[in-house]
Structure 1
Amino acid sequence: MEFTLLKEDSSSKARLGKLKTAHSEFETPIFMPVGTRAAVKTLTSKQLHALEAQIILGNTYHLMLKPGAEIIEKAGGLHKFMNWDKSILTDSGGFQVFSLSSLNRVTDQGVHFQSHIDGSSHFLGPRESMAIQKSLGSDIVMAFDECPPYPCSRIQLEESLVRTEKWARVCRDYTLHPNQNLFGIVQGGIEADLRRESAKSLVSMDFDGYAIGGVSVGEPEELMYQAVEASIPFLPKEKPRYLMGVGTPKNMIEAVMRGIDLFDCVMPTRNARNGMAFTWDGKVQIKAARYKEDFSPLDPHLDNEVSSYSKAYIRHLLNVDEITGLTLVTMQNLSFYLDLMKKIRQAIENNTIDELYKKIVSLYPN
C-alpha cells in the first residue's frame, strides 16, 4: 500500500491524499460502502462500479459464520468470491462479538461467544481474526480490538485499553499476505488521555494505517469529535486515518476537517431499506403520499441510473414491496455519499471547504 499526502487545507486539518493498494488507486477522503456478507445489500458489483465506488468493506464476523473463511479461500479470496476487482477493507470482527452476541466471555486471549444466527459456540481472538482476514485476502486488514460500550466506567476503559494494545501486538506480529496492509485501532472511549495513550502505543508498533474506533456507539456527536481531536495529533501525517462506522453527512465533513481520510457506515444502505433517500435537496422520505404523483427525478443534481426514474415510480415500488425500489434508493444514497466525498476533495483542492461545510450543515444539520 502507498499513501501520498497531496495537500492540506489552509483553514482546517482536512487533507487530500492518494491511496494505492494491490487492487485500486483512489483519492481520499473516501467513503467505503459496507458489504457485510460479501455484498452491498441489493446491489451487484457491476452496479457498484457504475457508482464509481473504489473500496468497500467486508465483515469478518459475519463471513466467518457464513459461508466460512475456508469456502471463500477456496474461491480464491473475497475479491473473486464476490466478483469485485477493486479494494476491500475487512474489519476485525471485534465490534460484532461484543454488540451482536448476547452471551460472550472475554479473556486476555480473545472472546468466547455464541452465534447470533443459531447459538453455536465460537472463539475469536487476535490470531483467529488475522487468520480469517488472511484467508479473505482483503487489501486492508483491521487489528482485533475490544470496543467498549458507551457509557462505561474509567476502570472498564483502562482494562479494555490494556487488552486492545496486547491484541494489537499479536496482530502486528502475524504474517499476512504480502499485498495486505494492517491498521491499528485507537480506543479509549471519551477520555482524551486514554485516546492519546492508545494512539502513541499503536504508532510505536508502526502499523500501515490507523483507525479511530469506539465511536458512534451512542455517545453525543460532540464527544465523538472530541475523541477524534484527542487522537489525531499523535497519528503520523504520512499514513491514512480511518474513522470507523461514521456517519451522517455532517459527521463526515466535521471529521474530514479534523484530519480523517476514510469512512464507512451502514446509514446510506440501511436508510434506503426504510425508504429514506439522501439527496442534494436534503432527506426525502420517498414513501410519503406527497410523492404519489411527483414525476420528477429523485435527485436532479446527480447524473446516475436513478435519475431515469421518477419519485412516483420509486414510491410505488417501495409501497408494493418490489425489490427494485430498494435497489434504486440504495444506489441513490451511495451515489450521494460518494459524490459528497468527491465534492469534499474538490473543496480541499480549491480551498473552499468552509463554504461546502455551510451547505452540508444547512441540508443535514444532524
Structure 2
Amino acid sequence: MSDITNVFRKYVSIIEENRRTPTLTPDDIKSASQTQTLIHESLNDSFMFECKELFKTIIDLRKILISIEPRYLDDSDLTEEEKDDMDTEIRLQFQQYMQKFRMLEKYETERQSLIDKQVEASKNKLSNILLSSSKGNKKKLNNDTHNEFRLGVLQSLNLWIGLVSSQFSSMQEERLAFQKKFEATDFSVNSSSPVDLHPEVSISLSKPLNEDDPHEEIKHFEETISRLTQEQVQLLETEHEELINHKNDQLKKVENINKTITDIVSIQHELATHLQTQSQNINKILDNQDDVEINIREGNKQLAKARKSASRTAKMTTYIAIILGILILFLDYIG
C-alpha cells in the first residue's frame, strides 16, 4: 500500500486555509456596496453641506469672540458705542444661526416623516410581502441608522450654538459689572469736584443749618448765590448739565446691555428646550432600534422555518412526480 500521508496533509492545509479565509457571497458584496453608497450619499447631501457651513460659521464666531475679549473688556481700547454696535451685530448673528438651525431641524423632521410613510406603504404592497423579509429589515435598519446619525449632527450643532452663546453672555455680564463699578466711582468723583473747585461755596455750605426752617434754608441759598460770580454760576450750571447728560447716556447704555442680556437668555432658553427635545427624540430612536432588532431576529427565525418547510414541500412534490411518472410508464407498458 502506498504512503498517502503527504496528500492527506495537503488536503488538511487546504481545508484550514478555507476556514481562515471567509468567503463572501454575492449578497454580502451587494449589501456592502449599498451600505458604502448610502454612507457616501449621507455625507455629501445638501443637509450635511448646510450643517458643515453652519458649524464653520459658529467656530469662526467663537474664534472672533476669543480674540476680541481682551479689547471688549478693556475700557480704554474700544468706546461704548463700538461695544454696543458689536453687541447688536453678534446678537443678529445668533438670531440668524438659530433661524438656520430651526430650518435644518424642520427639514430633517419632515424628511424622516416622509421616509417612514414610504416604508410603511411599501410594506403593505403584495409584491413586497412575497419578497424576502430580510431585505426589508436591512433597509429599515439602514434608514434608522441614517436618521440617528443626522439627528446627532443637529444635536452637536445645538450644543455648539449654546456654548458660543454662553461665552458671549459671560462677556456681556462681565462688562455690565465693570460698567456698574465704573458708574459708582465716576459718580463719587463728579459729586466731589464742585467742592474742590469752589472753596467759597463749600465754606458757605458748611455752616450749620436749621433743616426745620425752610425760610432759613432759602435765605442761606440766596446768600450763597449772591457771593458767587456770574462765571462761577454759569460754570456750575454747565457742569450740572454735563453730569446729567453723562448719567443719561450711561443709563441708556445700561438699558441696551440689559436688553442684549435678556435676548441672550431667551436664546439660551430656546436652545435648552431644543436640546431637551432632541434628547427625547434620540431616546425614542434608541428604543425603536431595540424593537427593530428584536423584530429582525424573529423575522429571521420565521424565514428559516419557512425555508425548511418550502424545502420539504419541494422534495415531497418531486418524489410524488417521480412516483406518478413511474406508475404512468408502468401502466402504459402493461397496456
TM-score by length of 1: 0.18
More helix by share: 2
Greater relative contact order (Cα 8 A, min sep 6): structure 1 or 2?
Answer: 2
More strand by share: 1
When Rg is computed on C-alpha atoms for both structures, the one with the higher figure is 2
